[in-house]
Structures are given as structure tokens and as C-alpha cells.
Amino acid sequence: MDLNFTAEEVAFRDEVRAFITASVPAETRRKVLEGLEVSRDDTIGGQRILHGNGWGGPNWPREFGGTGWDPVRQLIFEEESAAAGTPRLLPFGLKMVGPVIMRFGNTEQQKRFLPKILSGEHWWAQGYSEPGSGSDLASLKTRAERKGDHYLVNGQKTWITLAQHANWIFCLVRTDPAVKKQSGISFLLIDMKTPGVTVRPITLLDGSHEVNEVWFEDVAVPVENRVGEENGGWTYAKFLLQHERTNIAGVGASKRELLRLKRIASEERKDGKPLIADPGFAARVAQVEIELMALEITNLRVLAAEAERRSPGPEASLLKIKGTEIQQAISELMMHAAGPRALSARGGTLAATYLNLRKTSIYGGSNEIQKNIIAQTILGL
């Protein structure tokens, strides 16, 4: 396997690098590169800039307004965007509900929702987890009762990332409580402005507000907002989770943070020697870098499968496990390298990032569950 870029791919890399540097505001890129909080306006602004250049859907086929890029170009774009400090593209629309609507939605839904994901007009949230229904997602209790041409939705979703910014949410709801739990679930698209929808913040350990509870009290959702068949939502949910797990790997962002780790570890300490000069610490950094290189190759394999219109298989679970472990390892090494500065005004975001990344091995299906999937689908256990 030749891992070197062709001349055309090198030219594409240079094009992406030049466009991002010239088009994304320098202050926005500085926030990303220094690990500072990126605002809603920064995120939407980044999406609109890319959309204006025809790059709003880097992983989408051309027929739905995407770039139609091959796997290598998708990888180059992800890595160059992360390295240059482009705000993270919102995965909930682009890499979760968007692919579901493309595969299982009807033509009207595709025309109605997909362009607004690309333009940044719709900010989507993911309504999956509930109290007591996280890893065992099929046990969810949020109920949707059919009332003519609409459903009445009642229940609670929790740990909903950035729901305070969202204007739409895709939800798994129970439409038939009398059948096997996986068989009675439907997939609804819900306007967050609908009466009866309430968003309540959950304050995290570092004082930030990233996740929320979302309550539904007699929320009327048109039947036309149901994706696919009634009670067929479990199939669509599994398809979405495979795309989510692929996205969680975050190869480009991890490569950027690895470089940041090396910069911090190269700074002189009180004894005049940088931490990177310590053989033990340098070996730990090298190990993470090797694992990241292997993850990148696996990511290319998954992207190649998606390009052939095949749903990601158990490789998505591998990406999720190793991707999150690498993210956590880098943040831990960064805390070690910064030492007491990690809690200072200068390095405070390092501590917040470290705490925040503890969740990555849990959401999107815990890493323990991913290992079960691999055992069952690859090893036949």
C-alpha cells in the first residue's frame, strides 16, 4: 500500500491549506489552536465559509450537494482543517442525521433538510440517551403516540450536546410498547421551537455548559417528520451510530493536539531541561504517535467503504476505541507536560479538556460495548 500522496493530492492539500488560511478568521483559528472555547457564531461561520466554496459537505456525495471527494481527499481535508484551526464541523447534521436522511429519508425530506445542514441554517442535536437508557439504548422510554397526522411526544433525553444552540433534534422514540424493545422504536425529526420542548442545562465539573436535558411535554410532531417506517427506527439508529463512531475517531484533531503536546513538552523547565528530553516521557509520546499512524490507516479503510456506499462495519468500533484512547492519552500527557501550569490562567483549558475527554470512551456506545461488537462480528464469539 503506497501511503505517499500523488501530485494531484499534494496540490489539493495545498489548495485546502491556502483557502482555510485566507478565509477562516485568524481569531477563530487562534481559539481552536490554543484549545479555547469556540462560540456558536464561530462554528456556524466556519460552516458557511466552507459551504460558500462548495466544501460544506466534505463526506457527502455530489447528488446531495456534497463534494464527492474520494477517501484520500476527505482525509486530507480533515487533517488540514484541524491543523489550520478550522472550527470542528458539526457532526450531528453532517455525519449523523444527514447520512440517515440520504439513505432512509424520502425525496421531500432530502430536499427540505439536507441543504440547510450544508448551509449551517439548521443546527442539529442528537436525542438518543435517556436516564437509564445510555448503553442499553433500546430500553428508551420517550413515547410518541400517533394522533392522526401527528405524534404526541412525551419524555426526557439527557446528555444532549450543545442542545442550547440547536434548532432541530433527531430523536428515537417508542411508538409501540407492546413488542420487543428494539422493534417498537421510530426515528423523528423535531423542531426545537415546537411548544412543549424545554432545554435545561447540565453544568459540568469545570463549570462549562456543553450538555443538556431536553424535555418533551405533549410535543406535536407531524408524521411527515418521521424518517422511514414506523417502528423501524432501530435499524436507522444503528446505521447512524456507525457513522458517529467513525467521526469520534478524530484523527485530524489528534494530530493537531499531538503537535501541541510536543510544543508544550519542548518548553524549558526550572531545571533548564524540557520534559521531551526525558527518555521515559519521549517514549510515551512516541507510542501515542505510532498508534495514531495506525488509526489513520484504519480510518482510510472505513472511508473507502463509505465511498462505495457501504455502511461502516466493525472497523467503526475499532476507530471509536482507539480514537478515544488516543485523545485521552494525549490530554493526559499534555497535563503532565504543563505541570502546575495546567491549572493556571495560561493553561486552564488543558485541565478542562482533560476532564471533558473522559467522556469520549463512554458516548457513542461505550468502549466495552465496542469490544463486544468486535468479538461478535469479527471473532464470532
Tell me, what's the pLDDT at 345? 47
244 is catalytic: yes
Helix (H) or strand (E) holding 336: helix 315-338
Domain chopping of the chain, boundaries? 7-89, 124-231, 249-377
How many Å apart are CA 304 and CA 12, to the nearest integer? 18
What is the C-alpha separation between 167 and 165, in angstroms, rounded?
7
pLDDT reported for residue 1: 46
Question: What are 157's strand-pairing partners?
Answer: 214
Nearest to 134 by CA among 112, 149, 156: 156
**Alpha-carbon gap, residue 125 to 33, rounded angstroms:** 25
Measured CA to CA, the distance from residue 127 to residue 156 in angstroms comes to 9
Catalytic residue selected from 130, 244, 257, 315: 244
Domain 124-231 homologous superfamily, CATH: Butyryl-CoA Dehydrogenase, subunit A, domain 2 (2.40.110.10)
Question: Could you check whether 124-231 and 249-377 share the same CATH topology?
Answer: no
- pTM for the model: 0.85
Q: In this model, does residue 245 exceed pLDDT 70?
A: no
Residue 248 reports pLDDT greater than 80: no
Task: Name which of 98, 102, 104 is nearest 117 in CA terms.
Answer: 98
Q: Residue 354 above 50 pLDDT?
A: yes
Radius of gyration (C-alpha) of the chain in whole angstroms: 21
| Averaged pLDDT for residues 262-283 | 87
Establish how many alpha carbons lie within 13 A of residue 309's alpha carbon, considering only the half-sphere containing its beta carbon.
6
CATH number of the structural domain 249-377:
1.20.140.10
Average pLDDT over residues 191-210: 92
3-state SS class at 243 = helix
Q: Name the nearest CA neighbour of 134 among 369, 381, 379, 373.
A: 369
Where does the pLDDT of residue 326 fall: very low under 50, low under 70, confident under 90, or very high at 90 and above?
A: very high
> Where does the pLDDT of residue 356 fall: very low under 50, low under 70, confident under 90, or very high at 90 and above?
confident
> Is the distance from CB of 94 to CB of 119 less than 8 angstroms?
no
